Copies of this chain bind each other. A is one copy, B any other.
């Protein structure tokens, strides 16, 4: 359903018989309906964050294969309830939604929340050595920014064979570690999610903590902040964070029920191909290609 721009909902209900092709490209819905149970994975509870906002839950999967020290620090912060009572302080159009300690932005610095047991500085972890033990599902159409792109362990990833490095790319929904100017000034206590065109210039300049796997619209569908860089000038505009919990810290019955399509599954490959060459009564000129950040990784409620 994602890419049909029909005039009205009503008209959709009256779709004509397929005219051009005997077999139109299957839709995402159709492909997912045919997927096998083993093509889905349940995120490790030690890597799954449940952020509760007034509008609902945002689920974030951490990426310890790529940023292990950041994942560990964020787990510590969450375990000690660091984010409870903090806020979304910044929504910059076509760029990022950011959450952190609003007291750090206010004049009165006396109320800045301490980081508890978490580290205040971390090595950058902007890239890692290519590890052949990690999943690697390459894409066929190239990339403007990197020599190779594809998916690894459920994340969009770019690689530079010459340097032997790889890194998670800044795509829609990528969660990164905000920092000050120095490369060791990020610690996971301030995070952002990408809400616009993939700002790939951030790649290799910031540590990626993980990816939003559910509830993205609670971060992207917010009023943009009027102050420079999208900060909310009026404190009342900030969106309070009720709590952030690590699934592993919750009783099994209270953990988010979510599963994610494996990026090395046959169904995911079919989804990519269907987007590369969509041909049906509506799409008559297939793109013939797909860029990394245009591929959504499906997730669903686990039964």
Contact = CB atoms under 8 A, between A and B. Distances in A.
Interface of A: 1-12, 15-16, 91-96, 98, 100, 104-105, 126, 141-145, 171-173, 176, 178-181, 183, 185-186, 190, 192, 196-206, 216-217, 220-224, 227-229, 231, 275, 278, 281-291, 293-294, 296
Contacts of A9: 105, 227-229, 231
Contact of A1 (B201, B205, B228): B228
A100 B7 CA distance: 8
23 contacts: A1-B229, A2-B92, A3-B95, A5-B178, A5-B206, A6-B179, A7-B100, A9-B227, A94-B172, A94-B173, A94-B296, A144-B144, A144-B289, A172-B197, A197-B197, A199-B294, A200-B291, A200-B294, A201-B283, A201-B286, A205-B284, A220-B224, A221-B221
A293 B197 contact: yes
A18 to B, nearest CB: 10
Given A94-B216, A144-B141, A8 B104 contact: yes
Contacts of A224: 217, 220-221
Give the interface SS of chain A, mostly helix, strand, loop or mixed: loop
Given A11-B181, A141-B144, A203-B285, 12 more contacts: A2-B92, A5-B202, A8-B180, A9-B105, A15-B181, A91-B221, A94-B216, A94-B296, A172-B196, A203-B287, A205-B282, A220-B224
B11 A281 contact: no
A178 B6 contact: yes
A89 B193 CA distance: 26
State the copy count for this chain: 2
Highest count of chain B CB atoms <10 Å: which of A144, A145, A198: A144
A143 B291 CA distance: 9
Contacts of A290: 144, 201
B185 A7 contact: yes
Contacts of A293: 197
A181 B93 contact: no
Nearest to A93: B217
Contact of A93 (B100, B220, B282): B220
A201 B143 CA distance: 16
